[in-house]
Structure 1
Amino acid sequence: MNKALLVSTALALTGMALGQNRIDTIRPDSPALAPYGELQIGVQTLNVVHPNQLDIVKATAGNPIPTYDRPLTLEVWYPAALTAEQKPGGVYETTTRDASIPIQVHGKAVRNATPQTAKGPYPLVIVSHGYPGNRYLLSHLTENLASKGYVVVAIDHTDSTFGDQKAFASTLMNRPLDQLFVLNEIAKLSAQGSQSFLSGLVDVQNTALVGYSMGGYGVVNTIGGGFTDFATTLQFAPPSKALALRAASNPEYAKTIDPRIKAAIAIAPWGMQVGFWNAQTLEGIKTPVLFVAGDIDDVSGYEKGTKAIFEQAIHADRYLLTFHNANHNAAAPMPAPLETYSNFPLFESYAEAAWDTVKMNNILAHFATAFLGQHLKGQTDLQKYLNLTEKSSEGTGDSYWEGFKPRTAVGLSLQHLPAR
């Protein structure tokens, strides 16, 4: 066991003893690329405003949809240069899925630390949570990637967080729009002379999107999966067929596909199972994608959901990582906060019945590191971690999954389909 893993294991055990909610635990059986990288991590909060957006919450049938300036809160993790007095570690003040229950979450990032510019600029990763969720839900992954040389921006999607959950139609309308806006906003803030801490720190020409559930729905649409015309007419969709703005049949939609987005990770993306895409509309996706899912997902679906998107996005080089016997919470949510342990429905909103959450988080970090390293940093040596036998159970000896200790990849499969 290497020194970094020993330290991480010791911190995890200490955190458990102290009753802490930790998002930085690395298990001894984690795959090779799961541990944090060599860089220290800083974190800052930004508040931005997307002007003149459709106010779906206030929309009424038969009337023009009003507009408003849409506020978004962003959490930004980045490589940091700590002073001699600063030690790694910090606390996130947030809530459980029940927003009336405040919690503290412990990780490695240092609040408002000075950015480490010597090795920059760094590729950008934009993270989009589920409905409801918040910008800390995937903080196990955001910290991990920042330690490996990425600037990672997680969005609090207005009308869709634990604290302000409103009409589902707002989430349907705004997910891809929020993701594209944040990319453009970070581009402005990272420009030389912007007066932001991000100035010169971010390489937005090499950007990835990571989305979970409704965040994954947004990712699929943002990278080229235009909605079907049928989806714009659903009873729960925004009124006046507002989703036609993001429909494959709209000639203006294709112009929004941003070439700066070089890769995407879609975890349990919602929508395929109710008709938001079909084989024809998914042909617009050309961005490399890593799909992640549980094969008993009863929210987004598997055979008719995530796996169907994977199979039908024929013009993209794509992978499907499956956690067998996992449901909708496969890999994405942070470990269930200790405050949920006395409330099973609340605990279950984070956890999986057949999988340990930390193990899933570690596996996601491993594959995200390999996938994003290739597409955003040109680290072709990481391809060996993706060139695997489809079913981990079929590998033995030298053919066992690269980077996994013997017997530790049980319950996983990885499929690959090249772009046509």
Structure 2
Amino acid sequence: MRYFELLSTIFNILLLGWVIFARNTPQRGLLIGSGISIILELVHGLAEGMRWQMIPIYAMTLVPIVMFTLRRFFKPKEVKKKASQIRAVLIASLAVFYSVIAVALPIVLPVFTFENPTGPYKIGTVTYDWKDDQREETFTADPGDKRELMVQIWYPADSQSKGKVAPYISDADVFADGYSKILNMPKLLFTTFGHVKTHAIENAEISKQEPTYPVLLFSHGFSGHKNQNTFQIEQLVSQGYIVVGIDHTYSSTASVFADGRVAHYVPQDTNSGDYLDQANDGWVEDAKFVLDQVEKLAQNDPEHRFTGRIDMQNVGIFGHSFGGATSTQMLMTDSRIKAAINMDGVLYGKLRIPAGGLKKPFLMMSADDSLNSVHNMPDKEMAKMMEGLFARYEQVAEGGNYWMKINEMNHMGFTDLYLFLPVYERMAGVDVRKVHRLINDYSLDFFNHYLKHRPLKLLEQNIGDHPGFTLQKG
């Protein structure tokens, strides 16, 4: 809520309470109170602009004016009677209003839960603060700054593991502030996920059920964060994968380093294809550096958790939006990456998918809303740019790869966002729980085949059109 909106709201609520519950409100007080309320709303309207959501607050200004008018034109006994009736109506209205709010708020702003993972493994998690001494940090003014990344690893845990359950967001206030600024919405809307728990146990023992586990990197989208696909990460880990989530510093919602320093999101030219092609190089370097660090853990983990337990011969990557583009570029440029999933990411980066396809396993997932957006853009220059970018999709499914186009889906449906903002889900027309299950089922089928060498159960059997999606194979 903006400053004068908040000021006007607080004053009007206090004024209404005074009018309703005070036994003798002086005429002068009613006029002064109403006058101050009107001035606050005029200032709010001029400085910030009025909006329909504030109509109930604006209407409160009329209450003292009505009371003043009654006293001015009616006899004392009539005034007393009418005032009593008005108070009764106002109190009843407030009771109804309170009841509606009391019921609506938990529904609109829920403390949501993630669905129980279906795999046989429990989930452990640990977080790292890694600095790349070989790279300068280009988003800060200090030439001595080095690129620093917060990384969270989720892994199959021992079935007897017990301990503290990891919160969804460990620095809830920082992230609520970040979401508020990025989405230009009240911070209050994002405070609930500070209470959300996951299924991961902090610092749990890694499961001994398998000698090693394949590893998957996860790359978020612009202004996203390493936890933003917890719905998907937990499912993959429960099925026997180690997942490594990267916060791309200054391009994430926020990065909170081990010593408490915070790197906030830095706005960038996300409307320029040329800029984003160049920016993707930095994200690819982030992913390669993190994979280097994971290799070191696999060889000699100082905490002895991952030593000899990470299968570096079977490495995959998946990402959303700009992280999806990063996943595609990593598949083309890093020989360690055996398979990749791009979730609704425009194919930014320096390399293009060649004729004949990538020659490595690849699954593209797209929202129908994203694919159709170019036809609905009022800005002709932007539409022209997007048409050029979408031309890069021509070889996506060539060479035996897959392209899934999900119906009644939009860009943010690939993340956790709609779980803590259900009103967005309703507005977008996305059945987020259903769509998340679809994403999880096909992600798991894909990685199980190409990293665990198991038969495909879904991808080959469902080529073609379906009520919820279309699956294409080159």
- Taking structure 1 as the reference length, what is the TM-score of the superposition? 0.69
Q: Which residue does 1:263 correspond to in 2? A: 339
Instruction: Report which of the two structures shows the higher radius of gyration computed on alpha carbons.
Output: 2
**1:75 aligned to which of 134, 148, 152:** 152
Identify the range of structure 1 (45-54 vs 193-202) with the bigger mean alpha-carbon deviation.
Answer: 193-202
In 2, Cα distance between equivalents of 1:351 and 1:214: 25
Aligned-pair distance for 1:412?
0.9
> Residues 374 and 219 from structure 1, CA distance in 2 versus in 1: closer, same or farther, beyond 3 angstroms?
same
In structure 2, stretches of 5+ residues that fail to align are 1-105, 182-186, 255-263, 269-274, 376-385
2:133 equivalent to 1:42: no
SS of residue in 1 equivalent to 2:410:
coil
Whether the 8 Å contact between 1:188 and 1:194 is mirrored in structure 2 is no
Q: Identify which of 126, 134, 147 aligns with 1:52.
A: 134
Structure-1 residue corresponding to 2:325: 217
Alpha-carbon deviation of 1:127? 0.4
1:367 counterpart letter in structure 2? Y
Residues 43 and 78, structure 1, Cα contact 8 Å, conserved in 2 = yes
After TM superposition, give the deviation of residue 196 of structure 1 in Å.
Answer: 4.2
CA contact (8 A) 1:321 1:412 kept: yes
1:325 paired residue number: 408
Q: Deviations over 1:58-102 (max 9, x none)?
A: 48xxxxx95632111111111111437x27954222435337544
Residue 167 of structure 1 and its aligned partner are, at CA, apart by 4.7
Structure with the larger RCO, 1 or 2 (CA within 8 Å, 6+ apart): 1
Q: Which residue of 1 aligns with 2:358?
A: 285
**In 2, distance between residues paired with 1:19 and 1:115?**
32
Correspondence 1:91 to 2:167: yes
- Matched-pair contact (CA < 8 Å) for 1:190–1:199: yes
- Map 1:2-17 onto structure 2 (within 5 A): none
Name 2:114's counterpart in structure 1: 23
Shift of 1:38: 0.7
**Structure 1 stretches of 5 or more lacking a match?**
1-14, 26-34, 60-64, 225-256, 342-346, 393-409
> Percent of aligned positions with the same letter in both sequences?
25
- Equivalences, count: 327
Q: Which has the higher helix share?
A: 2
Q: Structure 1 pair 270/384, CA: closer, same or farther in 2 (3 Å)? A: closer
Q: In 2 relative to 1, CA 308–17 (structure 1 residues): closer, same or farther, beyond 3 Å?
A: closer
Q: What's the CA shift for 1:264?
A: 0.3
Is the contact between residue 129 and residue 213 of structure 1 (CA under 8 Å) also seen in structure 2?
Answer: yes
User: Matched residues in 1 for 2:357 and 2:136: separation?
Assistant: 25
Offset from partner CA, 1:173-210 (integer Å, 9 cap, x none)? 42111111111110101114644422122112101110
Q: 1:268 touches 1:294 (CA, 8 Å); kept in 2?
A: yes
Question: How far apart in 2 are the matches of 1:122 and 1:352?
Answer: 40
User: Following TM superposition, by how much is the alpha carbon of 1:294 offset from its aligned partner in structure 2, in angstroms?
Assistant: 0.7
- For 2:233 and 2:318, the matched residues in 1 are separated by 10
Q: For residue 120 of structure 1, give the secondary structure of its aligned residue in structure 2.
A: coil
Q: 3-state SS of the aligned residue for 1:123?
A: strand
Separation in 1, partners of 2:388, 2:314: 28
Partners of 1:180 and 1:142 in 2: how far apart?
20
| Secondary structure of the corresponding residue to residue 449 of structure 2 | helix
* Separation in 1, partners of 2:279, 2:429: 30
Report the TM-score, using the length of structure 2 for normalisation.
0.61
| Correspondence list, 1:17-416, <5 A | 19-24=110-115, 36-58=118-140, 66=143, 68-83=145-160, 86=162, 90-93=166-169, 94=172, 95-96=175-176, 97-98=179-180, 101-102=190-191, 103-104=193-194, 105-163=196-254, 164-168=264-268, 171-192=279-300, 194-224=302-332, 257-271=333-347, 278=352, 280=354, 285-297=358-370, 304=387, 308-313=391-396, 316-330=399-413, 332-338=414-420, 340=421, 348=424, 353-380=428-455, 382-392=456-466, 410-416=467-473
